């Protein structure tokens, strides 16, 4: 099984965790829910180096249990109007992506699974999109101003 998340607009990514059924056994996680970006690349304020570090391109990916957040997962993802992220009105709008891939050694038991994404912040004017792809199933969510942080 593999998963690809494509997230657009400015996001301060704190944690993405996939839980298994019932007791919510953690399958994988990126980051800590501590309101700090320090475990991620470019933190705490190196967002202007986003393009120079080749972040946001659709052919790049973060491989769970192989890639390192401090090197391979930026604390911020630029939106379509953030020129520091490589988009300009005269050169075309560019959506930035973070693709997260993971594999499992064996098929998990049938049941329900829960994806938890905790963000410390996101753009409110040009709302970000989350695209979830699991095998051949796709779903999109636009993060709205009504989203609330739990905990």
- Which pLDDT tens digit goes with each residue over 24-43? 677 888 988 888 899 999 99
Query: What SS3 class is residue 51?
Result: helix
Dist. CA 85–CA 88, nearest whole Å: 9
In this predicted model, what pLDDT tens digit does every residue of 16-25 receive, in sequence order?
455 555 566 7
**Residue 133 reports pLDDT greater than 80:** yes
Exposed, middle or buried, 111 (CB in 10 Å: 0-12/13-18/19+)? exposed
Q: Would you list the domain boundaries of the chain? A: 3-142
């Amino acid at each position: 099984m593999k998963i690809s998340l494509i997230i657009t607009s400015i996001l301060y990514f704190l944690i993405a965790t996939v839980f298994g059924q019932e007791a919510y056994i953690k399958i994988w996680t990126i980051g800590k829910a501590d309101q700090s970006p320090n475990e991620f690349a470019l933190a705490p304020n190196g967002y202007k180096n986003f393009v120079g570090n080749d972040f946001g391109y659709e052919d790049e990916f973060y491989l769970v249990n192989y890639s390192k957040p401090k090197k391979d997962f930026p604390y911020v993802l630029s939106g379509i109007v953030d020129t520091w992220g490589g988009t300009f009105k005269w050169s075309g709008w560019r959506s930035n992506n973070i693709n997260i891939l993971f594999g499992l050694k064996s098929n998990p038991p049938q049941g329900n699974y829960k994806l938890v994404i905790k963000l410390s912040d996101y753009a409110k004017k040009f709302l970000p999109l989350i695209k979830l792809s699991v095998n051949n199933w796709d779903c999109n969510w636009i993060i709205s101003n009504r989203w609330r942080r739990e905990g």
